[in-house]
Amino acid sequence: MINVYKIGGNVIDNAEALDAFLKDFAQLPSPKVLIHGGGKLATRLSGRLGIETHMVDGRRITDRETLDVVTMVYGGLVNKQIVAKLQALGCNAIGLTGADANVIPATRRKPNPIDYGYVGDIDTARINVSFIQTLLEAGITPVFCALCHEDGSMLNCNADTIAQSVATAMATVGETRLTFCFEQLGVMGNLDDPSSLIPTITPELYAALKADGTINSGMIPKIDNAYRAIENGVQCVTIKHSKNIGNEVGTTICN
């Protein structure tokens, strides 16, 4: 079983929560893959550099200056800090962008109807599965940041989408599970009520929860990515709190 984990930005932004997650992650059986973003850190660094951050519907507009910032933050600061911590915990990890070994090529998103700038869309069929497989078979854990590439340029990519795409690609060579880890117990009926965790979501329930507003904003693309993964061969997708990575507490997405 290949396990692909995506860690959310709010956990990355919390040093204590990140350390706890990485300690648990290091103890999980291999083969495993980790994907991360780092948007809040990128926003803070942009501010310190005098670069204004522009967002549309929660998605970052990545102009040339912003691309430089996210490349430094995602591919440098965050990625290498995570890899160094995993090494200290006995997990032999390697930090990667999508450009390394041409592992995750992408296509720059068309400017219509919104020009997001240097943002990439991934074609799962082009992911270098054999390279990832070689690393896993050697006992090395790949740690991917949210960067891809095209024609000599880095491209900012959505970390949830990278996780879904990598999981879908790996499902072509073996049973694969995808887990989204963030700061909530899972999909909640009421964010202020821990007992409102929704343990299982079917397509019918998902439609109803979107219609009544229970599921909204950032959770919608996460669940859309979950269903895209399941429809393309991933065995199971779970959304859970980062502290529960080693147990079954969370929301399971199923057909």
pLDDT in tens, 167-212: 999 999 999 999 999 999 999 998 889 899 999 999 999 999 999 9
CATH code of the domain in which 220 resides? 3.40.1160.10
Average pLDDT score, the chain:
94
pLDDT, position 255: 72
Q: Encoding tokens for residue 113?
A: 């109807």
Confidence of residue 226 (pLDDT cuts 50, 70, 90): very high
Q: How far apart are CA 143 and CA 140, in angstroms?
A: 10
Q: CB within 8 A of 134, min separation 6: which ones?
A: none
**Sign of the alpha-carbon dihedral angle for 133, 138, 139, 142:** negative
Give the pLDDT confidence of 97-121 residue by residue, as tens digits: 999 999 999 999 999 999 999 999 9
Q: Give me the domain span that covers residue 64.
A: 2-253
Q: Give phi and psi for 192, each to the nearest 5.
A: -90, 0
Instruction: State how many domains the chain has.
Output: 1
- What's the rounded Cα separation, in Å, for the pair 230 and 179? 12
Residue at token pair 């997708």: 237
How do residues 64-82 score in pLDDT, each as one tens digit? 999 999 999 999 999 999 9
Q: What percent of the chain has pLDDT over 70?
A: 100
Nearest to 206 by CA among 248, 158, 254: 254
Rounded distance between C-alpha atoms, residue 155 and residue 71, angstroms: 9
Read off the tokens for 238.
């779970």
Dihedral-angle region of residue 179 (phi above 0 means left; psi in -120 to 50 means alpha; beta otherwise): beta
pLDDT, tens digit, 9 for 90 and up, residues 18-66: 999 999 999 999 999 999 988 888 999 999 999 999 988 778 899 999 9
The per-residue DSSP string of 105-138 comes to: BEEEPP-SS---BSBEEE-GGGS-HHHHHHHHHT
Identity of residue 16: E
